[in-house]
Amino acid sequence: MNFLIVSHVQHVLNNKGRVAGYAPYVKEMNLWLKYCDKVTIVAPLSNQPFSPIDLAYAHKNIDFVQVPSFQLTSKKELLKAIMKLPYIFMMVFKSMFRANHIHLRCPGNMGLIGAFVQILFPSKFKTAKYAGNWDWNSNQPWSYRWQQKILQNTFWTKNMQVLVYGNWPGATKNIKPFFTASYSQNEIENTPPRNLSSSPIKLIFVGGLTEGKQPLISVKVCEALLKHFPVELNVYGDGALRLEVENYIKVNNLENNVFLHGNKGADVVKKAYQQSHFLIFISKSEGWPKVVAESMFWGCLPITTAVSCVPEMVGNGSRGSIVKDNLDEIVNVILAYYNNEDDYVLKAQKAMDWSREFTLEKFESEIIVLLENE
């Protein structure tokens, strides 16, 4: 089988010249590729160096088709994109023509092109992983909405299973609720919830230091809680807001309480989850936020926003807390847990029990079912 991936993910080359990309994404794709003879990847290639958050594809027979990256965020970027689109469409079409199975990674600019071009191949087996927020009531870019409309339209999109996070009303027959996974069954170990009487209370933030992830809120939560008890916040990730976060820490004398670790490998972050009491993740937009599921896997209770399928993940508050983008509310939720440790322990245990149902082995078994349906 020649398995085609159409993706917007920026790929890089590792020190051995192998194609690599964002580790959680590649780790997932490697499970798909175990059952393919050949892999074709149509995606952008960056000249950035291989980093700790990158991982190489495990497959030995990869044909990488490099296409230029493009944006649709402004008139200027749109004009630039128009010059690139004919070549990108041609590369996607040629790759789909040669493929046995077409796999689209959505939402993204390449996913949008793939959604249009796949219409020309109604008889080919196809899957699409919509890794964003499928909620039709949410505020989404117009390009995301187009992808949703095309993918769920069974007249234009044939022979495709569309994998989405969560259960949503009005879904067409080709929409399949799905999940993702980070850890193996073999990694499960006894991890009792942390004791809130221990000092300091440990908070964790994992993700990009970007406007959408709002890392500064996590810093301010730590700052506010210091008025009540010893607390520290460990931040894993990097991005455009790093300087702003660093300046806030310095101006407010939080150097001994907030620690910016940058991008670290999965093993380092895993150990941090195991030692933390709460994940503070006040994100504006998500699909299936892996950091929420990962924190739950290790008994680190998530304090997070009600985006996408997150309410389902945290059992509408039975295994975590859903909060609004409000500092006082977040602080009060944590104080309530601090004053009622039994509630904290119960929810942290429920979170762990639920998340450990979604292992890499279960994920792989579901992938096999999808591929066998051909």
Q: Minimal CA–CA distance to 168: which of 192, 191, 151, 181?
A: 151
Same domain for 242 and 130: no
Same domain for 283 and 203: yes
Bridge pairing between strands 321-322 and 301-304: parallel
Same domain for 213 and 134: no
Distance CA 145, CA 72 (A): 13
Distance CA 302, CA 311 (A): 11
Same domain for 231 and 297: yes
pLDDT digits (tens, 9 = 90+) for 294-351: 999 999 999 999 988 899 999 999 999 999 999 999 999 999 999 999 999 999 999 9
How many of the other CB atoms lie within 10 Å of CB of 318? 11
Q: Minimal CA–CA distance to 356: which of 294, 267, 279?
A: 294
State residue 374's pLDDT score: 58
Same domain for 126 and 7: yes
Distance CA 236, CA 219 (A): 12
Q: What is the mean predicted confidence (pLDDT) over 93-102?
A: 98
Same domain for 139 and 262: no
Give the count of domains, the chain.
Answer: 2
Same domain for 120 and 238: no
pLDDT digits (tens, 9 = 90+) for 340-369: 999 999 999 999 999 999 999 999 999 999
Q: Is the pLDDT of residue 216 over 80?
A: yes
Q: What are phi and psi of 18, to 5 degrees?
A: -90, 150
Same domain for 53 and 136: yes
Q: Which amino acid is at 288?
A: W
State residue 373's pLDDT score: 65
pLDDT digits (tens, 9 = 90+) for 141-193: 899 999 999 999 999 999 999 999 988 888 899 999 998 899 999 999 999 99
- What tokens does 315 get? 């059992």
Distance CA 278, CA 193 (A): 10
Identify the three-state secondary structure at position 42: strand
Strand partners for 160: 126
Q: What are phi and psi of 98, to 5 degrees?
A: -90, -10
Domain containing residue 345: 186-355
Host H or E run for residue 125: strand 125-130
Q: What are phi and psi of 113, to 5 degrees?
A: -65, -45
State residue 253's pLDDT score: 98
Residue reference for tokens 């073999």: 186
CATH of the domain at 276: 3.40.50.2000
Same domain for 165 and 137: yes
Same domain for 25 and 118: yes
Q: Minimal CA–CA distance to 164: which of 107, 212, 111, 115?
A: 107
Same domain for 118 and 203: no
State residue 61's pLDDT score: 96
**Percentage, residues of the chain above pLDDT 70:** 99
State residue 180's pLDDT score: 86
Distance CA 208, CA 263 (A): 9
Same domain for 272 and 250: yes
Instruction: Give Cα 87 distance to the centre of its chain.
Output: 29
What are the strands of the beta sheet with 231-236, ordered from one edge?
Answer: 258-262, 231-236, 201-206, 278-281, 301-304, 321-322
